[in-house]
């Protein structure tokens, strides 16, 4: 089945009871048993719920994985992966990371004795220098948030395999429409389904997808034992979102390109970060591992002018100033004070998250309205 069919049918079948084309929202905590242990496949809704399972199968299908697990948020999904580790284990992670992921790693898991090495990964081969006997996990995002760096998934997977280290990719920005990390050698794909998978800014959810049965069993054990599941209503909404993922992503990419090119041509704009530019440092890798370049674009104003950037953000009318990304509506954010405020200023600036940086999640509105909005806002 091709991707654009999988988003609608992958892992799905009409509901067994009445043939409902969408799975009903099984809003129940428990399921009747005829004799102890005898039931129709479900006993308690933390361990399994038919609506959630329908979503988990859909996510597994679009990522070309075998097993999907849905969580109450993206961070809950990352938390479940970290629970595979033991004190003394080490994680090699990209240094250009979603702020909440960085906070979870450094403020929670460092206290439990897990060590993190945050490194630049523009040259994937350099990752090998940071792997030691205690390294158990490589964690990457690509494209990265908010600097749009690209990490070579195939090259990283080779290093991970050679050293028998788990390799996880946060695929929130790209979505499986653009890249399928499991096919490129990753062991775990993670999503904040809050973003493009849900796609309508109406839910908070996370997901993991793997191919390996043993790894799936371990993660399922953690999902059930720690209990950070999502509810059936949110599972239903995410499933509905996934059905239009391919059409939405196509438009996100078209509008993202138009916005990136407009900004790059503007005399008041300094740097534009978007992997589709030929002079992007890893454009070639982006081209080889992604189908297109997505709808996320970051930029700075001339002379790293904080005040000018804040003015632009305040002037925007079609773009809404808000946290989050990946919904149908265009959003603008100021990483230094919003998504990345939990990263110390020196750390932030080392990777380019300067005070004038603005991050756009380009939505699927009419391209002309988006460009006109930026034009009037920048002035
Ligand atoms: C939002 C986000 C997360 C966290 O997901 P939540 O659903 O907000 O918990 C993780 N990684 C990336 C890249 C994100 O954008």
Domains located in the chain, CATH noted: 3-242 (3.40.640.10), 245-378 (3.90.1150.10)
Q: What is the pLDDT of residue 16?
A: 86
pLDDT at 342 over 80: no
The angle formed by the CA atoms of residues 67, 72 and 75, to the nearest 5 degrees, is 90
The rounded Å distance from CA 303 to ligand 1 centre is 30
Average pLDDT estimate for 361-368 = 98
Substitution site in 173, 195, 359 for ligand 1 pocket (most atoms within 8 Å of beta carbon): 195
Question: Hey, which residues are catalytic here?
Answer: 46, 98, 170, 195
**Considering the chain, what percentage of its residues have pLDDT values greater than 70?**
100
The rounded Å distance from CA 98 to ligand 1 centre is 7
| Local confidence band at 340 (pLDDT 50, 70, 90 cut-offs) | confident
Q: Which two tokens stand for residue 302?
A: 């001339």
Residue recorded with tokens 């933390």: 46
Phi, psi dihedrals of residue 139, rounded to the nearest 5°: -120, 120
Higher pLDDT, 215 or 346: 215
The rounded Å distance from CA 140 to ligand 1 centre is 13
| Local confidence band at 301 (pLDDT 50, 70, 90 cut-offs) | very high
Substitution site in 145, 179, 298 for ligand 1 pocket (most atoms within 8 Å of beta carbon): 145
Q: What is the pLDDT of residues 139-183, one digit of tens each?
A: 999 999 899 999 999 999 999 999 999 999 999 999 999 999 999
What is 281-339 written as a DSSP string?
Answer: TTHHHHHHH-SS--SEEEEEETT--HHHHHHHHHH-SSSEE-S---SSS-EEE-TTTTT
Any idea of the CA torsion for 197, 201, 207, 210, to the nearest 10 degrees? 20
Q: What is the pLDDT of residue 99?
A: 87
**Considering the chain, what percentage of its residues have pLDDT values greater than 90?**
93
Q: What is the pLDDT of residue 347?
A: 83
For the entire predicted model, the pTM comes to: 0.96
Q: Work out which ligand 1 atom sits closest to the CA atom of 101.
A: 10
Q: Work out which ligand 1 atom sits closest to the CA atom of 194.
A: 7
- Ligand 1 pocket (Cβ < 6 Å) reads 73-75, 98, 100-101, 141, 145, 170, 172-173, 192, 194-195, 204, 206
């Amino acid at each position: 089945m091709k991707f654009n069919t999988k988003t609608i049918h992958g892992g799905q079948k009409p509901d067994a009871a009445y043939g409902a084309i969408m799975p009903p929202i099984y809003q129940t905590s428990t399921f009747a048993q005829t004799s102890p242990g005898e039931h129709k496949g479900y006993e308690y809704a933390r361990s399994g719920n038919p609506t959630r399972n329908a979503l988990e199968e859909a996510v597994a299908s679009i990522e070309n994985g075998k097993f999907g697990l849905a969580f109450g948020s993206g961070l809950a999904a990352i938390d479940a992966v970290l629970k595979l580790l033991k004190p003394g284990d080490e994680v090699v992670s990209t240094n250009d990371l979603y702020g909440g992921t960085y906070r979870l790693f450094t403020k929670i898991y460092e206290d439990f004795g897990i060590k993190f090495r945050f490194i630049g990964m523009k040259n994937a081969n350099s990752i090998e220098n940071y792997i030691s006997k205690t390294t158990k996990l490589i964690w990457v995002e690509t494209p990265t948030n908010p600097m749009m760096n690209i990490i070579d998934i195939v090259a990283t997977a080779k290093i991970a395999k050679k050293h028998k280290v788990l390799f996880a990719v946060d695929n929130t920005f790209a979505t499986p429409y653009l890249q399928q990390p499991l096919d490129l050698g990753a062991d775990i794909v993670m999503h904040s389904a809050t973003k493009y998978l849900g796609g309508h800014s109406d839910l908070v959810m996370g997901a993991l997808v793997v191919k390996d049965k043993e790894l799936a069993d371990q993660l399922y054990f953690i999902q059930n034992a720690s209990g950070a599941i999502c509810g059936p209503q949110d599972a239903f909404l995410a499933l509905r979102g996934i059905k239009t993922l391919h059409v939405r992503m196509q438009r996100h990419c078209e509008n993202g390109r138009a916005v990136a090119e407009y900004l790059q041509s503007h005399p008041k704009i300094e740097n534009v970060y978007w992997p589709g530019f030929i002079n992007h440092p890893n454009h070639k890798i982006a081209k080889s591992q992604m189908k297109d370049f997505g709808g996320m674009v970051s930029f700075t104003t001339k002379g790293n002018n904080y005040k000018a950037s804040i003015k632009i953000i305040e002037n925007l009318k079609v773009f809404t100033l808000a946290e989050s990304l990946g919904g149908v509506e265009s959003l603008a954010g100021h990483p230094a004070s919003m998504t990345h405020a939990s990263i110390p200023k020196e750390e932030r600036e080392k990777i380019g998250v300067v005070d004038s940086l603005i991050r756009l999640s380009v939505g699927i509105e009419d391209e002309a309205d988006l460009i006109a909005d930026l034009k009037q806002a920048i002035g």
